[in-house]
């Protein structure tokens, strides 16, 4: 891991406590120490070998085994939670009750009720609660939203989000392949695409219903759904299709948007999701001509994570906007759970989140 070896800046800085130091937690730590205005004060990880690795990677940070010790620290402003999904609500609750801001990896929680409680806690303690839908910060996927808002395709009517990738990694202790800890596989990655669909079609209003299908290549584990597709209906005639397979190879994502006056097509490919050397592009059709849209910088999961840490620093320091709020995170969880109910029942499922504003 890269360590920030320079002296701490004289200007006020945001002090991070990181809970979790698996593969993705290590990337969070690296992003924190490389972000101007941020400092990594403490890392919490239960496994002794991982604590040793964290201490070696980040000698300026204290390493502890109990997250309750981390959230009680006076020198931590924000708790960054990068744990298996079933632990998100517990640790985020403890951090908010301790008066810390929270950056919470997706899914926000495994139940809508837990999401709502976290939102209420953040409001009560006047703390920021951000959810890790980092694709919103991408120079590629974010550019689509900007073009939609600028009227490049008129009124959006349809979005297709497709992922073709290799199978999931097991995760620490095999948690990602344990349905009790992961909740369901729709919460693991399609959740990002449900979030993007709602984000791109925000002008239509929040989604109304979902119909989904899925299957598994493992007969002994039908709950681990390798192939998944869903249709999401929005107010009016707008709708989205979210589809992915874990039976492919490498990592290839596309988004296609059409509207009353044009269309957009974005693509991203890499040998794996965390590559720093992807290929990507964006095209716009205005009804007459197709043109390539230049992008400001390279895009990919690791770059978007760095942007997410910087976003959190800005929000805490100056009150800047969060890229994805607790309400956004709750909607994403609700959509995934509805999709799973649809898969299980073979029927469309209605979405209803009272008191949840866009």
The three-class DSSP label of residue 136 is helix
Q: How confident is the model at residue 354 (pLDDT cuts 50, 70, 90)?
A: low
pLDDT tens for 216-259 read: 998 888 989 999 999 999 999 999 999 999 999 999 999 999 99
The encoded tokens of residue 60 equal 């300026």
Read off the pLDDT of residues 113-122 as tens digits, 9 standing for 90 and up: 999 999 999 9
Question: Residue 7: its pLDDT value, please?
Answer: 35
**Closest by alpha carbon to 58, among 95, 17, 91?**
17
pLDDT band at residue 267 using 50, 70 and 90 as cut-offs: very high
Q: Are 342 and 230 in contact (CB under 8 A)?
A: yes
pLDDT tens-digit map of 5-53:
233 333 489 999 999 999 899 999 999 999 999 999 999 999 999 999 9
pLDDT score of 307: 97
pTM above 0.85, yes or no: yes
- Region 68-97: mean pLDDT is 97
What whole-number percentage of the chain has pLDDT above 70? Answer: 96
Q: What is the pLDDT of residue 3?
A: 28
Residues 6+ away with beta carbon under 8 Å from 111: 89, 333, 337
Residue ranges of domains in the chain: 14-134+308-324, 135-297+331-350
Distance CA 6, CA 12 (A): 15
> Quick one: what percent of the chain has pLDDT higher than 90?
87
**What CATH homologous superfamily does 14-134+308-324 map to?**
NAD(P)-binding Rossmann-like Domain (3.40.50.720)
pLDDT band per the 50, 70, 90 thresholds, residue 172: confident
Strand order across the beta sheet in which 38-44 lies: 62-64, 38-44, 14-19, 78-81, 101-104, 129-131
DSSP assignment letter at 297: S
Asked, colleague to colleague, whether 14-134+308-324 and 135-297+331-350 share their fold, the answer is: no
Q: Which of 95, 69, 63, 79 is nearest to 17 (CA)?
A: 79
Report the distance separating Cα 95 and Cα 91, nearest Å: 6
Confidence of residue 356 (pLDDT cuts 50, 70, 90): low
Correct CATH for 135-297+331-350 of 2.70.98.60, 3.40.50.150, 3.30.565.10, 3.30.360.10: 3.30.360.10
Between the alpha carbon of residue 79 and those of residues 71, 203, 283, 294, 309, the distances in Å are 7, 33, 38, 36, 12
Contact 61, 43 (CB under 8 A): yes
Phi/psi at 302 (5° precision): -70, -40
């Amino acid at each position: 891991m890269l360590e920030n070896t320079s002296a701490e800046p004289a200007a006020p800085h945001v002090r991070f406590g990181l809970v979790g130091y698996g593969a993705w937690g290590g990337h969070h730590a690296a992003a924190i120490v490389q972000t101007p205005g941020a400092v990594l004060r403490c890392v919490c990880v239960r496994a002794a070998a991982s604590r040793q690795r964290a201490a070696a990677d980040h000698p300026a940070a204290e390493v502890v085994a109990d997250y309750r010790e981390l959230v009680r620290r006076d020198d931590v402003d924000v708790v960054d939670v990068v744990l298996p999904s079933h632990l998100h609500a517990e640790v985020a609750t403890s951090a908010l009750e301790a008066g810390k801001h929270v950056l919470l990896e997706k899914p926000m929680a495994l139940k809508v009720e837990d999401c709502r409680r976290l939102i209420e806690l953040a409001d009560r303690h006047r703390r920021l609660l951000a959810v890790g839908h980092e694709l919103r910060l991408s120079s590629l996927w974010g550019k689509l939203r900007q073009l939609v808002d600028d009227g490049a395709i008129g009124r959006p009517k349809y979005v297709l989000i497709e992922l073709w990738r290799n199978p999931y990694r097991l995760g620490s202790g095999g948690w990602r392949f344990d349905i009790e800890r992961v909740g369901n596989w729709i919460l693991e990655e399609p959740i990002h695409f449900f979030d993007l669909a709602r984000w791109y079609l925000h002008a239509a209003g929040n989604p109304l219903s979902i119909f989904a299908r899925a299957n598994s290549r493992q007969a002994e584990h039908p709950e681990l759904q390798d192939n998944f597709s869903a249709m999401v209906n929005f107010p009016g005639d707008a709708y989205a299709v979210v589809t992915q397979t874990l039976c492919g190879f490498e990592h290839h994502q596309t988004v296609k948007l059409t509207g009353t006056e044009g269309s957009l097509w974005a693509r991203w490919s890499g040998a794996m999701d965390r590559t720093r050397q992807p290929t990507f592009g964006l095209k716009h059709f205005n009804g007459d001509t197709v043109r390539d849209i230049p992008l400001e910088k390279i895009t990919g999961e690791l770059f978007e994570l760095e942007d997410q840490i910087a976003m959190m620093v800005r929000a805490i320091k100056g009150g800047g906007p969060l890229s994805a709020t607790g309400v956004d995170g709750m909607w994403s969880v609700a959509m995934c759970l509805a999709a799973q109910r649809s898969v299980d029942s073979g029927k469309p499922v209605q979405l209803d989140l009272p008191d949840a504003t866009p």
